[in-house]
Chains A and B, each alone.
Chain A
Amino acid sequence: LLLLQRVLLLVASDVDALCACKILQALFQCDHVQYTLVPVAGWQELETAFLEHKDQFKYFVLINCGANVDLLEILQPEEDTLFFVCDSHRPINVVNVYNDTQIKLLVKQDDDLAVPAYDDIFRDEEDEEEDSENESDGSEPLEKRRRFEEEVIERTMKRRQRREWEARRREILFDYEQYEYHGTSSAMVMFDLAWIMSKDLNDMLWWAIVGLTDQWVQDKITQMKYVTDIGILQRHVSRHNHRNEDEENSLSIDCMRIAFEYDLRLALYQHWSLYESLCNSCYTSSSLKLWSVQGQKRLQEFLADMGLPLKQVKQKFNSMDMSLKENLREMIEESANKFGMKDLRVQTFSIHFGFKNKFSASDIVYATTSLMENIEKEGPETTNFIKALDSLSRGNLDKLHQGLDLAKKQLRAIQQTVASCICTNLVISQGPFLYCSLMEGTPDVKLFSKPVSLCLLSKYLLKSFVCSTKNKRCKLLPLVMAAPMDVEQGTVIMVGIPPETESSDKKNFFGRAFEKAAESTNSRTLHNHFEMSIIELKTEDRSKFLDALISLLS
């Protein structure tokens, strides 16, 4: 892939990017490629990192950033600079798509990119020359000349055609760029690369799984896409793990094994108590409406229906009676069906390290996210990133456990915030969308100044709101959520998410809408995040910005 030259790795702050990064690092190590890793949380950091390193490096690998903007325009690189972009953000900027020399996109072949045809968006210069064909080339006059149809009319026709073409181009680009969504997980793309090179290892496969699971936990892809990709990974899993099956008992302590399973949509339950997990998982808490007294009652009924003693349920899962655990999944599922939770079962993978440690893919996602967005300062900016990255290595169980603890805190905080927002009617319909703003001073508000945590909160909140409201129209609305970002600077962080419907295509129009609204009101906004639908905004400008957004989307 890249030989001899030192490579700069620019990696975005999301779990999928970390996983892709781990795979690429392993590949680099295997091929003795030297690289420097720089974490980038947003466009500003990406630009700064590029400027700082552009003199020493020719090869840049961008993971989960860079695909959806015109990189050459933004970074103004030298002509011999080469970018390899592995990014799940869609739509891919058309210039990146059609640049053959400096931008190399790593894209899965069967991803439907729906890129507009080249001729529809780019016009070759020669088409334009015709107007001035007779002018100033200084050569001898023609010996003979044909007289064409009225040239004035010709020219106006040509101009009109050009205008039409340009209007059509604008329309095509508008359609293409209108919605933000996500393609195949970068970790999966990277794993594919390793596989094609016959350098795929079981560790890499696990990272690919975690990358995909991150997309699912963050609600970035459709259910259909998730199931398809799980299928692809399952084939790799059986290829890599079949040999050990009959020797399971002889597994050594440092051996790892990946297994496909139908597990429960209960966050972290194997490292928590079943009760806590039920209370703090989005699916169960919103379905049972746990924020209300009624809901709490329903939870008790649900547990009773399963016939599980409360004492057992509230115990650490590890310490639960083995006899109870044996048929636990089936029992829970059966009762859940009765309580209207038909989709509690989900296809996923788990990993075993030796006998003792078992983690489900989503456990890792929650833990890594929490480490990455840890709000307790522990040294320089990159500490969290490095820690999160390290927790993905199997040798670092202590970091992983630390992450699991943080994740529990995070989930509790989300759960409590959702409950208080719903109970105090903080979610308001603005007409074209729902809106919720966290006040300064709300407990845990600092946690939600981080983009991934805020997004998770928004998804949980929207889901819960949809379950709680009786207003049918509101059930179909998207949500805009704001949280204090930096009190001293007087900024808020704002995110927009698509409506919560079963058939949702997970396409998000808020990125463009935010841009437009900011433009029309001269609001002081910062579009710094790789997700276009997350912005930072001056608190004072918030109301005029929202007004513009409302009228734009009405």
Chain B
Amino acid sequence: VRKHSEHVKMFKNKGKDETSLRRQRVEVSIELRKAKKDEQILKRRNIFIDLTEESPSLRKDRADEMIIQPSLEKIVEAVNGDDTQLQLLATQATRRILSRHKDPPINQIIKLGIIPKMVEFLGRADNAALQFEAAWALTNIASGTSEHTRAVVEAGAIPAFISLLSSPHMHISEQSVWALGNIAGDCPLYRDALIAHDVIPPLLALVSPTTPIGFLRNITWTLSNLCRNKNPCPPLDAVQKILPVLIFLLQHEDKDIISDSCWAVSYLTDSCNDRIQIVVETGILPRLVELMDSPDFIVMTPALRAVGNVVTGTDQQTQEAIDAGVLTVLPRLLRHTKPVIQKEAAWTLSNIAAGPSQQIQQIITCGLLPPLVELLDKGDFKAQKEAVWVVANFTTGGTVDQVLELIRSGVLKPLLNLLLAKDSKTIMIILDTISSLFLAAEKLGETEKLCLLVEELDGLEKIEDLQNHENDMVYRAALNIIEKYFSGEETTDLEPQTGQDGLYDFSVEKQDFNF
């Protein structure tokens, strides 16, 4: 008798080997048969193969490898030859190899040296099929690593694709949009090269109320890539040309289009205050706040990101976001089931809490303290860290009354609990916040009361324990609070000893690691 797990393993492997072997053999023979059949088809009609005429079996990607696959040498030969028909077949074959689902051999294709030819085919206005196949193949090559994209760009594909944007064949111009998106997404350098080649006017011209949705999605994505990346950020005039179209797209009903437009806006606002200003001036904030409340996760996420970026700006820019209603949506987002949303919402709130006391007052008025305390208590840890920042900023910038309101809302208990966190940076922020709270209490002459509260909430115990923390800063901050507010009857005899020999050495050793 054996335990059954071992037993099963034996069976599982046994069964697997036998059946998979068998399956393989069958499959090979089917493929061979298919291969023969398709060869005949190709031979018989030695004419233009229209895409729509293809038999479905030709399109199966697994079958591809066996079916029409002429050897790579044959492809090279055909592409470089004079027979247009063979060029088309070879380009199509290349495109097929590159669009199979697993491991497209991009490197191998690049090494064949046929990319310049493919780029040349883009200009064959007399042969739309060839243009299309070449555009698709090049799109897939440019979708690889930076090196792959470079191979396409250096073959001169940028101007060729830009002029194809105006092709009379929609599928060709769509394929070009896609290819240009891949190039723009690679790096700021190529992005700006496209802009310098004047990609924006013909691209924007494709956006119209009659553009099919699939096509429009591609355009939106490419536009978002033209807004993407910093160091440097995209040229100002380009942004100013794109923005009105983005605002138009944000009104669309398709959620993929809205999502990508929001991402584009979030890229544009992830920048200096001047750039934020350009976006704010378009008056798009109310729409973004509305989209923050969308039931679609793919819309909500980038909208929240964009608005969050805006409130990193000036007090005035932040006020515009508040006026657009961001504080009325945030409570729901702080309570969202997805940790990512909780975190982003808390981050946004922390930046508003960093503002002047009038804005802090609006936080209180809009009822954000209860969800904040909940998040601090039970949220995802990353979100809790952001919530700690909210409290810290609030305590620093708020009036004594506002801080009192914060304490009354029950923030202290979850805040003190987080002193058990593993993250020293968070602990430091909490200790600093506690110090600020004591300063406020001192002003009111309520130090005793706060001491009692902290003790009641088991905070003293935790702060005392932090005197054993490996991080020197944490240790000092904790010690400082204990000495200042809780050293009533306690003897401080122990402190100098530990402070001098043991810990001093320790801190020197570890300093680099911690900060």
Contact = CB atoms under 8 A, between A and B. Distances in A.
A319 interface: no
Contacts of B497: none
Interface stretch (B54-62, B360-368, B447-455): B54-62
Nearest to A195: B1
A97 B181 contact: no
A117 B22 CA distance: 14
A193 interface: yes
Interface stretch (A140-148, A218-226, A331-339, A454-462): A140-148
B19 interface: yes
A108 interface: yes
Interface in A238-291: none
B99 A143 contact: no
B16 interface: yes
Interface of chain B, main secondary structure: helix
Interface string A95-132: 00110100111111100010111111000000000000
Interface string B204-248: 000000000000000001001100100000000000000000000
B182 A104 contact: no
Contacts of B45: none
A193 B1 contact: yes
A143 B1 contact: no
A77 B19 CA distance: 35
A196 interface: yes
A157 interface: yes
B260 interface: yes
A145 B1 contact: no
A229 B358 CA distance: 89
B123 to A, nearest CB: 21
A144 B182 contact: yes
Determine the interface band of chain A, counting residues with CB < 8 A from chain B: 35 or more
A153 interface: yes
A193 B2 CA distance: 9
Interface in A350-375: none
A146 B298 contact: no
A109 B1 contact: yes
Contacts of A139: 301
A52 interface: no
Task: Tell me which of B1, B12, B60, B228 has the highest count of chain A C-beta atoms within 10 A of its own C-beta.
Answer: B1
B221 A141 contact: yes
A108 B100 contact: no
Contacts of A140: 263, 302
Contact of A143 (B8, B101, B228): B228
B224 A141 contact: yes
A146 B139 contact: yes
B1 A192 contact: yes
A149 interface: yes
A257 B196 CA distance: 102
A103 B296 CA distance: 41
Contact of B16 (A106, A117, A144): A117
A107 B7 contact: yes
B296 A136 contact: yes
B186 A143 contact: yes
B292 to A, nearest CB: 13
Given A100-B5, A146-B140, A118 B297 contact: no
Contacts of B8: 97-98, 100, 115, 118
Interface in A180-227: 189, 192-193, 196
B142 interface: yes
A502 interface: no
A153 B59 contact: yes
Contacts of B101: 148-149, 154
A97 B64 CA distance: 40
A117 B15 contact: yes
Interface string B272-301: 000000000000000000000000111011
Given A116-B15, A117-B19, A141-B263, 4 more contacts: A97-B4, A136-B298, A144-B181, A147-B99
Interface of B: 1-5, 7-8, 11-12, 15-16, 19, 56, 59-61, 64, 96, 98-101, 104, 136, 139-140, 142-144, 149, 175, 178, 181-182, 185-186, 221, 224-225, 228, 259-260, 263, 296-298, 300-302, 338, 340
10 contacts: A98-B8, A104-B3, A105-B4, A118-B8, A137-B297, A141-B224, A145-B181, A146-B140, A148-B99, A148-B100
